């Protein structure tokens, strides 16, 4: 069986131009590549999703800039979420060169072509040849036809889907109670007591695999290649990715250790619109993937599905211990473990986690909310972004918040968007006090500030109820505040006295913890700004302070 041809996709709303581009591409590249053309950004995105489901590759995207409904720039930006490694070309008129320059910044544009490009032998083919050579030389993860058969209301199935989606792994999803899923499950010789079941490309099975088993099957790095590094970054959110990029780019042998997937809470955001340099917004997944690729480009090593359970001082080395008993050491450590959403205390709510109750997960569960009434709990930006995203599918979205309004905790631009969205309503001064259902969530009970109770029917409850740092594993040597956030820098000193156990002959650096050579960045740090931009900045700053520490331990 021959391998499928990689795709060259062109999109232009002018049918004659679209046919001309496809004709020129087919003439030169038709033998080795499949030429796909579309006449709108929406239809092109649909084509890309179908290509991704089949497990095929896209090598080059060519999009006309001036298209109604969705411009070429908007198309290329969204296409990056589906095929981040595809090379991107914008077709522009002479008057649109400013837009092309903007596109270089917004979507990492590889090239822009001025129309008309005749003769193609001089103006089109040399460009495509160079892009194809670059694409073929990239370290692309092979895409395999992997099928996942899952239970509709199984919490482990929900966790697996989240893991696969956040790590941008190619798979096809089948529910065991639907005909095709049932057929595949029977063909595999399994029943619904063994869900989820992964049918690998070679026909072998992974029955209820762990995240590590999934990561190894898909080719993600799960084991460090060395025993000693210059820098270990613990946590792959914006702060950790920022530290990995700057550490590796400045010559430090850097390894980033992440428990689930790069991106952290920000990576689960459907749209971040106040991040510098992205005036049209950027999805958390897209931002995390760009940062991951950037870190790898500079030589950082990424290790996933590893739980860090402790750090130790061994002379000049700082040792990171894993849950399986293994360890790695480094000259310095940056803690960037971020925060987790706080579990909801109301009776019954946590019993349905993954079965109608979701902590984050809005992007992966959105399609399942089609034409349904759903509830989002929380008043910060993450809740607002989720509500806006879910409103594309749901019949109604209700934001439940205990405060009198969203003003105290949500960005102004997001509040305005919510007010203008007819699908979303806000129930202020209200909280969820109970959840019920038979095997999965079916209804929740709301209580208003004046004590009135109301039970409403819903199968989907999304929770964004505050930040809880992941620091229980740090032990007593690393000073934390009463909420568990890591204390650093001058906050460690009281009346000029250095923190207990401090061994260095100098005061702590700005982001340094109570253990010399161990730094904290991002949301895990006490009194941090809890914003993506500040987390990235702290990751970069922590690397600068690591250099100072290495010069004067």
SS (H, E, C) 38-62: ECCHHHHHHHHHHHHHHCCCEEEEE
Which pLDDT does position 302 carry in this prediction? 98
Which pLDDT does position 53 carry in this prediction? 65
Whole-Å CA distances, 441 to 152, 272, 322, 352, 362: 12, 29, 35, 6, 16
Helix (H) or strand (E) holding 360: none
pLDDT in tens, the chain (553 residues): 466 899 999 999 988 888 888 999 999 999 999 999 999 999 999 898 888 767 788 999 999 888 888 888 889 888 887 788 899 998 887 655 566 565 555 556 788 888 777 788 988 899 999 899 888 876 554 445 789 999 999 999 999 999 998 888 888 889 999 988 888 888 888 888 889 999 888 788 999 999 999 999 999 999 999 999 999 999 999 999 999 999 999 999 999 999 999 998 888 887 888 888 888 778 888 889 889 999 999 999 999 999 999 999 999 999 999 999 999 999 999 999 999 889 999 999 999 999 999 998 778 888 889 999 999 999 999 999 999 999 999 999 999 999 999 998 899 999 999 999 999 999 999 999 999 999 999 999 999 999 999 999 999 999 999 778 989 999 889 999 999 999 999 999 877 778 877 889 999 999 999 999 999 999 999 999 988 999 999 999 999 999 999 999 8
Cis check: omega of the bond before 119, within 30 degrees of 0: yes
How far is residue 42 CA from its own chain's centroid? 23
SS (H, E, C) 433-452: EEEECCCCCCEEEEEECCCC
Where exactly does CATH 3.40.50.2300 map onto the chain? Answer: 7-137
In the CATH hierarchy, which top-level class contains the domain 7-137? alpha beta
The region, left, alpha or beta by phi > 0 then psi within -120 to 50, assigned to residue 200 is: beta
Whose CA is closest to 344, among 332, 353, 331? 353
Which pLDDT does position 423 carry in this prediction? 97
Whose CA is closest to 552, among 488, 492, 505? 505
Whose CA is closest to 243, among 309, 306, 291, 276? 291
- Residues 514, 499: contact at Cβ < 8 Å? yes
- Residues 206, 150: contact at Cβ < 8 Å? no
Q: Which one-letter DSSP state was computed for residue 272? A: B
∠ CA 260-265-266 to the nearest 5 degrees? 120
Distance CA 362, CA 389 (A): 8
Distance CA 105, CA 123 (A): 23
Helix (H) or strand (E) holding 71: none
In the CATH hierarchy, which top-level class contains the domain 228-340+468-551? alpha beta
Where exactly does CATH 3.40.30.10 map onto the chain? Answer: 147-218
Distance CA 362, CA 359 (A): 8
- Neighbour count for residue 506 (Cβ, 10 Å): 13
- Residues 515, 499: contact at Cβ < 8 Å? no
Sequence-distant (6+) residues with CB within 8 A of 504 are 516, 553
Whole-Å CA distances, 285 to 21, 265, 305, 533: 31, 10, 18, 15
- Residues 92, 62: contact at Cβ < 8 Å? no
Looking at domain 350-465, which CATH architecture does it have? 3-Layer(bba) Sandwich (3.50)
**Which residues pair with residue 467 across a beta bridge?**
341
End-to-end CA separation in angstroms for the chain: 59
Where exactly does CATH 3.50.50.60 map onto the chain? Answer: 228-340+468-551, 350-465
Which pLDDT does position 435 carry in this prediction? 98
∠ CA 100-101-105 to the nearest 5 degrees? 110
Sequence-distant (6+) residues with CB within 8 A of 330 are 228, 229, 230, 231, 232, 255, 317, 318, 320
Distance CA 184, CA 311 (A): 45
Looking at domain 147-218, which CATH architecture does it have? 3-Layer(aba) Sandwich (3.40)
How far is residue 312 CA from its own chain's centroid? 30
Residue whose token pair is 């869900």: 195
Distance CA 406, CA 417 (A): 12
């Amino acid at each position: 069986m021959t391998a499928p041809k990689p795709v060259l996709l062109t999109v232009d709303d002018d049918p004659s131009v679209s046919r001309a581009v496809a004709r020129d591409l087919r003439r030169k590249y038709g033998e080795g590549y499949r030429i796909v053309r579309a006449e709108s950004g929406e239809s092109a995105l649909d084509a890309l999703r179908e290509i991704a489901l089949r497990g095929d590759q896209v090598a080059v995207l060519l999009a006309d800039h001036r298209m109604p409904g969705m411009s070429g720039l908007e198309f290329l930006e969204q296409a990056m979420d589906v095929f981040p490694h595809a090379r991107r070309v914008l077709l522009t008129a002479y008057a649109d060169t400013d837009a092309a320059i903007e596109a270089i910044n917004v979507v990492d544009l590889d090239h822009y072509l001025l129309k008309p490009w005749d003769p193609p032998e001089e103006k089109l083919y040399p460009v495509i040849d160079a892009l194809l050579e670059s694409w073929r030389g990239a370290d692309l993860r092979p895409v395999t036809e992997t099928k996942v058969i899952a239970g509709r209301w199984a919490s482990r199935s929900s966790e697996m889907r989240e893991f696969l989606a956040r790590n941008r792994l190619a798979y096809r999803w089948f529910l065991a109670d639907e005909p095709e899923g049932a057929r595949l499950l029977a063909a595999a010789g399994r029943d619904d007591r063994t869900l989820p079941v992964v049918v690998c490309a070679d026909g072998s099975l992974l029955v209820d695999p762990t995240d590590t088993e999934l990561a190894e099957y898909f080719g993600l790095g799960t084991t460090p290649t060395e025993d000693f590094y210059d820098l270990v970054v613990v946590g792959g959110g914006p702060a950790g990715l920022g530290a990995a990029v700057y550490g590796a780019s400045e010559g430090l042998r850097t390894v980033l250790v992440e428990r689930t997937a790069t991106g952290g809470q920000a990576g689960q955001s459907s749209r971040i619109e106040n991040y510098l340099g992205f005036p049209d917004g950027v999805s958390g997944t897209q931002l995390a993937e760009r940062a991951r690729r950037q870190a790898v480009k500079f030589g950082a090593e990424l290790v996933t599905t590893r739980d860090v359970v402790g750090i130790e001082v061994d002379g000049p080395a700082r040792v990171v211990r894993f849950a399986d008993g293994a360890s790695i050491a480094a000259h310095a450590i940056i803690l960037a473990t971020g925060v987790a959403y706080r579990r909801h205390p109301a009776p019954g709510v946590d019993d349905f986690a993954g079965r109608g109750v979701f902590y984050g997960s809005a992007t992966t569960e959105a399609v399942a909310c089609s034409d349904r009434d759903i509830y989002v709990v929380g008043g910060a930006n993450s809740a607002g972004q989720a509500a806006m995203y879910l409103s594309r599918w749901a019949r109604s979205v209700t934001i439940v918040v205990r405060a009198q309004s969203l003003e105290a905790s949500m960005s102004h631009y997001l509040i305005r968007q919510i007010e203008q969205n007819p699908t979303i309503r806000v129930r202020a001064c209200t909280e969820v006090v109970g959840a019920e259902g038979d095997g999965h969530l079916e209804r929740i009970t709301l209580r208003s500030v004046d004590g009135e109770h109301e039970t409403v029917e819903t199968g989907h409850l999304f929770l964004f109820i505050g930040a809880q740092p992941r620091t229980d594993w740090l032990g007593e040597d690393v000073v934390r505040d009463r909420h568990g956030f890591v204390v650093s820098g001058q906050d460690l000193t009281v009346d000029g006295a250095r923190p207990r156990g401090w061994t260095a002959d100098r005061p702590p650096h700005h982001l340094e913890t109570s253990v010399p050579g161990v730094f904290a960045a991002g949301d895990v740090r006490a009194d941090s700004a809890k914003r993506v931009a500040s987390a990235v900045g702290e990751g970069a700053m922590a690397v600068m302070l690591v250099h100072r520490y290495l010069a004067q331990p």
